């Protein structure tokens, strides 16, 4: 190993600088230093998709050490430091509410029930930073079809585990715990919406939302609920976490929109982690061609 360069955290840059084989080596090193992956289970076989193959993913270390996950603290490095207390087995995801086939899924049975695929998606956070992440999971639509929502189901609500012993950030009233998020049913059924169980081909680390999280790539990152224990079909719009505490700053839809500023900062530009210069924020995070039709006729400055 003496011929390999020593890689410092400050030297890690996006994939465009390093070849993919070097990214793999960095990921392996970062896993040894920072990872919280359980050793009890392996992911089933999965396939790559065309999504995001023209993008340069951020490194494993960047993705797993710079996070928003308030259940483990409000600092960006708090989740990586504190998430080791989370026990992801046994784990049950309850699918309930307005559906014909409610079910309590064991996480390992759920992972095996739906074909896994890798999709490289952009993540844009409301604070003004972004990443590109190779997620591993399956379209939420498959689980929804299995549950068979009734005609009353208009929205899908997602709830994170509430256990202050495992999630020390929940000991403080930063938010009204448990963390709750929601989507309109058509948003949840959209092919881009995923339930994610891994990244870079490995099981999802605790700090990134293990063992299962939501990813909605055209919305700000806080819409993608982590460590999910309940998925519920409901008739009325869910009262979600951030709009409950700061309704002027965070809306239910939370589509990435450079024309709608957060009251305390602009959304017109963003800084990709690993890059020095900011770049222009794209409407719907660059997925407008696929999702703009969901909001035809809506005033997106009112429904922000």
pLDDT of residue 22: 40
On whether residue 249 sits in a domain, the answer given is yes
CB 160 within 8 A of CB 71: yes
Cα separation, 126 vs 256, whole angstroms: 8
The CATH number of the domain holding residue 166 is: 3.90.420.10
Tell me how many domains the chain contains. Answer: 1
DSSP state of 262: B
On whether residue 2 sits in a domain, the answer given is no
Name the residue range of residue 204's domain.
9-120+131-256
pLDDT of residue 41: 58
H helix runs in the chain, sequence order: 20-34, 60-65, 78-82, 107-113, 140-147, 185-189, 241-245, 288-291
Cα separation, 266 vs 288, whole angstroms: 20
Closest CA to 238 of 188, 181, 295: 181
Question: CA dist 142 to 115, 149, 152, 283, 288, Å?
Answer: 9, 12, 19, 27, 23
On whether residue 93 sits in a domain, the answer given is yes
Low-confidence ranges of the chain (pLDDT < 50): 1-40
| Angle 143-68-211 from CA coordinates, rounded to 5° | 35
- Map tokens 């055209």 to a residue: 218
Cα separation, 286 vs 288, whole angstroms: 6
DSSP 120-179: EEEEE-TTSEEEEEEEEEEEHHHHHHHH-B-TT--EEEEEE---TTT-GGGGSTTS-SSP
On whether residue 147 sits in a domain, the answer given is yes
On whether residue 70 sits in a domain, the answer given is yes
pLDDT of residue 96: 98
On whether residue 292 sits in a domain, the answer given is no
On whether residue 181 sits in a domain, the answer given is yes
Please compute Rg for the chain using Cα positions: 19
Cα separation, 88 vs 92, whole angstroms: 9
pLDDT of residue 42: 80
On whether residue 229 sits in a domain, the answer given is yes
pTM: 0.87
Closest CA to 117 of 196, 207, 41, 40: 196
């Amino acid at each position: 190993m003496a011929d390999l360069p020593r890689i410092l955290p400050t030297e890690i840059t996006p994939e465009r600088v390093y070849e993919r084989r070097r990214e793999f080596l960095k990921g392996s090193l970062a896993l040894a230093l920072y990872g919280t992956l359980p050793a009890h289970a392996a992911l089933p076989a999965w396939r790559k998709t065309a999504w995001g193959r023209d993008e340069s993913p951020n490194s494993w270390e960047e993705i797993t050490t710079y996070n928003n996950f308030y259940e483990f603290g409000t600092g960006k490095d708090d989740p990586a430091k504190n998430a080791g207390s989370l026990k992801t087995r046994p784990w049950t995801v309850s699918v309930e509410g307005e559906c014909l086939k409610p079910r309590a899924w064991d996480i390992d049975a759920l992972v095996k029930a739906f074909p896994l695929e890798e999709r490289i998606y952009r993540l844009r956070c409301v604070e003004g930073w972004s990443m590109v992440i190779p997620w591993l999971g399956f379209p939420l639509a498959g689980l929804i079809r299995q549950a068979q929502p009734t005609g009353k189901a208009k929205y899908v609500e997602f709830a994170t585990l509430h256990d202050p012993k495992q999630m020390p950030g929940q000991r403080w009233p930063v938010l009204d715990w448990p963390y709750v998020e929601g989507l309109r049913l058509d948003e949840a059924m959209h092919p881009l919406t995923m339930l994610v169980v891994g990244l870079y081909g490995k099981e999802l680390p605790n700090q990134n939302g293990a063992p299962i999280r939501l990813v909605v790539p055209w919305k700000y990152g806080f819409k993608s609920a982590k460590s999910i224990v309940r998925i519920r079909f409901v008739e009325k719009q869910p009262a979600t976490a951030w709009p409950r505490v700061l309704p002027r700053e965070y809306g239910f839809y939370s589509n990435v929109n450079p024309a709608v500023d957060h009251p305390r900062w602009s959304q017109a530009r963003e800084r990709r982690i690993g890059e020095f210069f900011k770049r222009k924020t794209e409407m719907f995070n660059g997925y407008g061609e696929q999702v703009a039709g969901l909001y035809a006729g809506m005033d997106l400055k009112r429904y922000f």
